[in-house]
Copies of this chain bind each other. A is one copy, B any other.
Amino acid sequence: MIYSTELIKGTLKTIVLKLLADNKKMYGYEITQRVKELTFDKIQISEGALYPTLHALESEGLLVTEVEYIGKRVRKYYSLSPSGKSKSKEKLSELADFIETMKLLLDLKVKTA
């Protein structure tokens, strides 16, 4: 099963921040592949979604970049800035909380009062 794309909306920034919190530095393509692996292909981040998001996070001052050359190919590493680290924790606890709330909604057996 691949999730209908709408479900993933709004979680991308959090996923990116979380991965970077766990992995010191990563580059864009690596992030897409890692997410694909970790979710058993259930979540596939498109590049058209990822790169704009990375740029946005960078311009918000949450990420910093360093460029590396692998042969002639450019590789752009992203890592968390100090404010990115706290933002990561923030977004993460918010998502964890949200998930618990959704579980409540999912499991609810509410009869009309």
Contact = CB atoms under 8 A, between A and B. Distances in A.
Interface of A: 1, 3-11, 13, 15, 18-19, 22-24, 34-35, 38-40, 42-43, 92, 94-99, 101-106, 108-112
Contacts of A111: 22-23
A39 to B, nearest CB: 5
Q: Mostly helix, strand, loop or mixed at chain A's interface? A: helix
Given A6-B9, A7-B11, A94-B1, A99 B103 contact: yes
Contact of A7 (B98, B109, B112): B98
B1 A110 contact: no
B6 A110 contact: no
Given A98-B3, A104-B38, A105-B39, A23 B92 contact: no
B99 A95 contact: no
A8 B35 CA distance: 21
10 contacts: A3-B98, A4-B94, A6-B13, A8-B98, A38-B105, A39-B104, A39-B105, A92-B106, A95-B102, A95-B106
